[in-house]
Amino acid sequence: MEKITRKKIICGNWKMNHSHYEAVQTIQQLKATVSEEDLIKADVVIHPPFTSLRSLQTIFEAEKLGIFLGAQHCYFEKSGAFTGEISPEMLLKLHVTFVIVGHSERRTLFNQSDEIVNKTAKAISEAQMIPVICVGESQKIREAGEHFDFVASQVEAALSGFRIDTVKRIVLAYEPIWAIGTGNNATAEDAQDMCASIRKKVSELYDSDTANLVRIQYGGSVNEENAGSFCKKYDVDGLLVGGASLDGVKFGNVIKAVI
Ligand code: PEP
C-alpha cells in the first residue's frame, strides 16, 4: 500500500464526567495550554456528556476555537418513542461533527451489539457526521491469540453495507478492552500492528485507496508521557483519550506530544 500522510485526530472522551460548569473550566485550561497554531496541526475533538454540548458549542463558535464538538453516543432512529435517547439529527443541530459508537463500555454495559453499532454508524454518516467506531479485544481473546481475527470481524460487522465514499471519511478506534482505564496501555508496536491489520481489512472489504484514507486511532490509558510514541507509528493516525482528557492541561500536553 502506498504511504501517504493523514492528518492526526485526537479525541477526548469525557464519559460521564464534568457538569457543564466544569466542562467550560476544562476548555479554559485547554485553551491556556495549546495555541491556535497547535489546533490547526491536528483535528482535536471533545466528546462531553450530552448536557455540556450546548455550552461547548457556544464557546467553540464564539471564540472560533479550532476544536470540533463530538458526542459519545446516539440512537439510530430519527425521532419517536425512544425515551432517554438522542437522535443523530439532534446532534447535528448542535454542530456536532464526530460521534463515538461501539465504545466497549456501551458494548459491555448497555448490550450494544455489532448490528446496533452498524446501524448507528450508518445513521451518523447519513446525518453528515463522522462516526468514530471503536473496536478492540478482551484480555482473554488476546491471550488466546485471536485478537487480529476478532477485531477484523468487528470491523467487517461495523462497516456492513457502508458505501465506499462514506467509508473514506470514517474514523476507527482500536481500543483493547484490557487497556481502557487500567493504566496498562498497549505498546506502540502492538498499536501499530493492530492498526495496520485493521487497514488491511478495510482494503480487503473496499480497496487500498479507501483503506489509506481511513483514520485509525489507538485508545487505552494514553497519557502525556506515552502519547507521542503511538503517533510516530505509520498506521496510528491519532488517539482516543479517556481519563487524561478530563484535565485541560493534561489533554493539551497530549495534543502537543502528538503534533
Ligand atoms: C476511552 O475512554 O476510550 C479510553 C481509552 O479511556 P482511558 O484513556 O481512560 O483508558
Give 168-196 pLDDT, tens digit per residue. 999 999 999 999 999 999 999 999 999 99
**What per-residue confidence (pLDDT) applies to 1?**
75
Is the pLDDT at 72 greater than 80? The verdict is yes
Nearest atom in ligand 1 to 15's CA? 2
Separation between Cα atoms, residue 121 and residue 158, nearest integer Å: 7
CATH class of 9-258: alpha beta
Nearest atom in ligand 1 to 175's CA? 5
Probe target for ligand 1 pocket from 104, 135, 180, 254, with the most ligand atoms within 8 Å of CB = 180
Q: What is the 3-state secondary structure (H, E, C) of the chain?
A: CCCCCCCCEEEEECCCCCCHHHHHHHHHHHHHHCCHHHHHHCEEEEECCHHHHHHHHHHHHHCCCCCEEEECCCCCCCCCCCCCCCCHHHHHHCCCCEEEECCHHHHHHCCCCHHHHHHHHHHHHHCCCEEEEEECCCHHHHHCCCHHHHHHHHHHHHHCCCCHHHHCCCEEEECCHHHCCCCCCCCHHHHHHHHHHHHHHHHHHCCHHHHHHCEEEEECCCCCCCHHHHHCCCCCCEEEECHHHCCHHHHHHHHHHHC
Nearest atom in ligand 1 to 13's CA? 2
Return the ∠ at Cα 252 (arms to 14 and 15), rounded to 5°: 5
Q: Span 2-20, mean pLDDT?
A: 95
State the pLDDT confidence band at 2, using cuts at 50, 70 and 90.
Answer: confident
| Phi, psi for 239 (deg, rounded to 5) | -135, 145
Of 47, 103, 105, 137, catalytic: 103
Task: Kindly report the protein residue whose alpha carbon is nearest to atom 6 of ligand 1.
Answer: 242
Give 136-149 pLDDT, tens digit per residue. 999 999 999 999 99
Active site residue 156: no
- Where residue 221 falls (left for φ over 0; alpha for ψ -120 to 50; beta otherwise) is left
- The alpha carbon of 147 and the centre of ligand 1 are apart by a number of angstroms equal to 19
- CB count in 10 Å sphere of residue 153: 14
Task: Kindly report the protein residue whose alpha carbon is nearest to atom 8 of ligand 1.
Answer: 242
CA contacts within 13 A on the Cβ side of 220: 26
Pocket of ligand 1 (CB under 6 A): 13, 15, 103, 175, 180-181, 219-222, 240-244
**What per-residue confidence (pLDDT) applies to 167?**
97
Domain boundaries, the chain: 9-258
Asked whether the beta carbons of 144 and 228 are under 8 A apart, the reply is no
Active site residue 89: no
Between β-strands 215-219 and 9-13, what pairing exists: parallel, antiparallel or unpaired? unpaired
Asked whether the beta carbons of 254 and 227 are under 8 A apart, the reply is yes
- Where residue 15 falls (left for φ over 0; alpha for ψ -120 to 50; beta otherwise) is left
Asked whether the beta carbons of 46 and 28 are under 8 A apart, the reply is no
Separation between Cα atoms, residue 21 and residue 206, nearest integer Å: 44
Distance of CA 152 to the CA centre of its chain: 17
Mean pLDDT of the chain: 97
Is the pLDDT at 9 greater than 80? The verdict is yes
**What per-residue confidence (pLDDT) applies to 3?**
86
Separation between Cα atoms, residue 238 and residue 7, nearest integer Å: 8
